[in-house]
Amino acid sequence: MKLKEIAEKIGAKLLGDGEIEIKGVGSLKHARSDQLSFVSGKLYLEEAKQTNAGALIVSDETWLAGKPGLLVPDAYRAFISVEKILLGEPEQSWGIDDRAVIGEKVKLGEPVCIGPYAVIETGAEIGDRVRIDAHCYIGKNVRIGAGTRLYPGVKIMERCVLGQRCIIHSGVVIGSDGFGFIPGKDGHEKIPQIGIVEIGDDVEIGANCAIDRASLDATIIGSGTKFDNLIHIAHSVKVGKNCIILAGTVVGGSVEIGEGCMVSGNVVIKDHTRLAPGTQVIGGSGVYEDTKPGEAVMGYPAMPFSQAKRAYLRLRDLPELFKRVKKLEEKLK
């Protein structure tokens, strides 16, 4: 596709030769002369000068380094749009593999793709254009909305609900029992976990996440929320719309996470804690108290970011401070 055609499709201002042919996209470091790359900020200007890319997408025309390009308000977003245009829609095949197991009274949309050794139990409802890859398990009376994709090895346990256009990556378990026991002198009595998991529309769940069912009602993941890999969501958690949670995070039971929260990697959130809408949690933190709307917290235990930053800066001074205190103690003897 010619550069001028790409400019027209994404509404960009063409700078330089629009006749050059663009066959793909690549990073500044590895792009070829027939590929398009992008410059997202001043940090990458040196790489832009050295790149072999045939053209660049920029938000400042002085960043072109003598190459033809496309001027847009947001270079990264525009690059993603171009990537989708050049790659096109992947070829889809539909149908039910002969090795899949489909239970009684299952409702299947049109079209669907059911891979080999997938198991769909009695009463499940599968929407239109749903793809269920090999070795997936869909429990009794599960409902899956239109356009959702389940990668190989996903497990959706009985009665759980998935919205439309969700993407569930390999190894995810949705609807496993919450961890609930009553301790006693003769052992630990299991508390029945009879709730479900409800997942909204346009949710993406990364590989090997575990989302437990509620003890009574529903564990809820709001529409538009995105999970990285290896996240644990305990029973009865409520996650609002358009949240982002990064890898290795553990969310305790009955936690409430408001809309638009961003939780970095390896965070622990204590059970029954409430994160107000717009909260940002810095990676490696332990959240044990409720937060305020739009607040950024950091540390173990987590505290407001400005306070935590001062505290951690002082940590470097502790060895010297200890020496000074020791000298003072010796003088007082």
Catalytic positions, written as ranges:
235
How far is the C-alpha of 259 from the C-alpha of 322, rounded, in Å?
A: 44
How far is the C-alpha of 41 from the C-alpha of 90, rounded, in Å?
A: 31
Q: What is the DSSP letter of 5?
A: H
Cis amide prior to 301 (ω within 30 degrees): yes
How far is the C-alpha of 160 from the C-alpha of 298, rounded, in Å?
A: 34
- Asked whether the beta carbons of 51 and 40 are under 8 A apart, the reply is no
List the alpha helices (DSSP H) in 188-317: 305-315
Q: Which of 178, 141, 147 is closest to 161 using CA atoms?
A: 141
How far is the C-alpha of 265 from the C-alpha of 287, rounded, in Å?
A: 13
Q: How far, CA to CA in Å, does 45 sit from each of 28, 30, 62, 63, 68?
A: 10, 15, 10, 6, 15
CA 185 remoteness from chain centre: 42
Helix (H), strand (E) at residue 47: helix 45-50
Q: SS3 of 71, please? A: strand
- Asked whether the beta carbons of 219 and 202 are under 8 A apart, the reply is no
